[in-house]
Amino acid sequence: MLLLVGLGNPGTGYSRNRHNIGFMAVDAIVRRHSFSGWRSRFQGEVSEGFLNGEKALALKPQTYMNESGRSVGEAIRFYKIDPADVVVLHDELDLEPGRIRIKTGGGHGGHNGLRSIDAHIGKDYRRVRLGIGHPGDKEQVTGHVLNDFAKSDEVWLGKMLDAISENAPLLEAGDDAGFMNKVTLAIKPPVAKKPKADKTVAPETERKETD
């Protein structure tokens, strides 16, 4: 069974924060694939459904970001889920807004939600890194992640969430590269190539000499 974990902070005051893009992504998957309604369990909210005909569980920890691992740990122990079947969707400062990357294992990069999950289940889970950009100054990071997305972000954010939800079955299939490519193309479709100019040189007309 695949466990899809969205990271964020609970409560309506945080719902549109950049730090909550993981919650937004999991919500979009639940809606698109007609998962069950959310219910309280594992110190979080869970929703069950199917991807590619296989059972999947969506989880939004309600422990606040810094303690996300408590919720994830309870869920994988109950269902005996291998960390390789855990996919965590989270905000990423080190990627430009609208960029997406996937990796398995590695460091937490200063992300407190990942740091907590590492402590509870180890590092061998899959991470879907959703770019929110860096404010450029370390002192402004907290304000940046805990502020709402700007109106100018709505276009790329909507495309990203739609593409993530549409292509979630690829995560269940283990096709992380295919998932990343599909989402990337949906956010920034390739620019249509301009037709090549005709380089055929017209024959010179015969020049008549005059006396």
Q: Which residues are catalytic?
A: 19
| CB-based burial label for 48 (10 Å; 0-12, 13-18, 19+) | middle
Residue type present at position 139: E
Contact 91, 130 (CB under 8 A): yes
Closest of 5, 1, 25, 30 to residue 121, by C-alpha: 5
205 conformational bin, left if phi > 0, alpha if psi -120 to 50, beta if neither: beta
Mapping DSSP onto H, E and C, the string for 108-152 reads CCCCHHHHHHHHHHCCCCEEEEEECCCCCCHHHHHHHHCCECCHH
Residue type present at position 159: K
